[in-house]
Amino acid sequence: QIYWYQNQFLPKDEVRISPEDRGYYFGDGAYEVIRVYHGKLFEADAHYDRLVRTAEAIHMTLPLSKQELLDGLNELVKRNQVQEGTVYLQYTRGIAPRAHSFPQGAEPVLMAYAGDLKRPLAAMENGIRTVTMDDIRWLRCDLKTLNLLANTMAKQHALSQGADDVILHRQGTVTECSASNAAIVKNGRIITHPANHLILHGITRMVMLRLAERLGIPAEERPFTLDELQAADEVFITGTTVEVTPVVSVDGLPVSGGQPGPVTRRLQEAFSEAIR
Ligand code: PDD
């Protein structure tokens, strides 16, 4: 596997990472996961914009232009011969002795790789089981930073409960999942948490809302409660790796009769069309 590290394409084993990279000490950096379909980056512009937004919010300046970055990522996809997969990229604030204050003059460190990943067809077909859990993350969940401890703990909690993922909530208001956004359908309307500081502004969520509009399915971006989740006609999640995946149970109780619902199915079909 070929990595892109500090503007060089290298076999993974030749990538040499400093122990003083602030990514290790502090999770001090930004990242993106971009889908590759048919050898092409999906929604690359939107991912770039989000990366820049995160970087600016954490006071980091990216050293590469948009064109340089996208050219590098496309080259990475090519060198790894990825047709259906993902690109992962991260920028850390740089290399410096451990100190909380931002280092003077440190250069951001870029690391990226591309790998195969099949579309999750079985989960998309059959749906997943979820458990609800307190959202203990910080108040800037809109930033795609490397600090994912709460997300990894949440995912592991789901697995330990025999479920596939968590649905997080703050005092009864549903936010999102460990690595995807959540939505419900009630009386034919899609409801999903507003894109504010409490959720990641998912690009798949954005694509889904665009498709819904095109299909004439009404959608509301507003907070909804755990009670609404339990009483929903349908529940689904969206994300780069999960696309549009139905949820068939929440805390052991079936959703939409334990079967993926019709609105979810229409969105899935439209999504499959959009990436063809
Ligand atoms: N996660 N919410 C969270 C907390 C996420 O980590 C992600 C993506 C999403 C969905 O965003 P998008 O549609 O832009 O992928 C929502 C990536 C895939 C990850 O961390 O692996």
pLDDT per residue over 245-260, tens digit each? 999 999 999 998 999 9
Average pLDDT score over the chain: 98
Indicate if 192 and 255 belong to the same structural domain: yes
Indicate if 269 and 135 belong to the same structural domain: yes
pLDDT of residue 200: 98
Q: Provide the CB-side half-sphere exposure for 140 (13 A, CA).
A: 11
Mean pLDDT on 33-54: 98
How high is the ipTM of this complex?
A: 0.99
Indicate if 110 and 126 belong to the same structural domain: no
Indicate if 203 and 129 belong to the same structural domain: yes
Q: Which of 81, 101, 116 is the last residue of a domain?
A: 116
pLDDT band at 57 (very low <50, low <70, confident <90, very high): very high
Closest-lying ligand 1 atom to the alpha carbon of residue 46: 14
Indicate if 42 and 102 belong to the same structural domain: yes
Provide the pairing of β-strand 253-254 with 165-170.
unpaired
Indicate if 103 and 28 belong to the same structural domain: yes
Closest-lying ligand 1 atom to the alpha carbon of residue 178: 4
Q: Which of 116, 144, 162 is the last residue of a domain?
A: 116
Pocket test of ligand 1: the residue of 54, 180, 197, 241 to mutate, having most ligand atoms within 8 Å of its CB, is 180
Closest-lying ligand 1 atom to the alpha carbon of residue 144: 6
CATH code of 100's domain: 3.30.470.10
The closest alpha carbon to 60, from 22, 87, 98, 33, belongs to 22
Tell me the DSSP string of 106-137: PPPEEEEEEEE----HHHHHH-EEEEEEE---
Q: Is the CB of 95 under 6 A from ligand 1?
A: no
pLDDT of residue 196: 98
Domain range for 62 is: 2-116
Q: Is the CB of 176 under 6 A from ligand 1?
A: yes
Indicate if 7 and 29 belong to the same structural domain: yes
pLDDT of residue 13: 97
Q: Are 99 and 218 in contact (CB under 8 A)?
A: no
| pTM of the model as a whole | 0.98
Q: 66, 78, 144, 155: which is the annotated catalytic residue? A: 144
Number of domains in the chain: 2
pLDDT of residue 274: 97
Indicate if 158 and 232 belong to the same structural domain: yes
Catalytic residue list contains 144: yes
pLDDT band at 135 (very low <50, low <70, confident <90, very high): very high
Q: Is the CB of 202 under 6 A from ligand 1?
A: yes
Task: Convert the pLDDT of each residue in 167-204 to its tens digit.
Answer: 999 999 999 999 999 999 999 999 999 999 999 999 99
Indicate if 226 and 213 belong to the same structural domain: yes
Indicate if 158 and 253 belong to the same structural domain: yes
Ligand 1 centroid from CA 162, angstroms: 22
Indicate if 82 and 180 belong to the same structural domain: no
pLDDT of residue 136: 98
pLDDT of residue 220: 98
pLDDT band at 119 (very low <50, low <70, confident <90, very high): very high
CATH code of 217's domain: 3.20.10.10
Q: Is the CB of 1 under 6 A from ligand 1?
A: no
Mean pLDDT on 224-243: 98
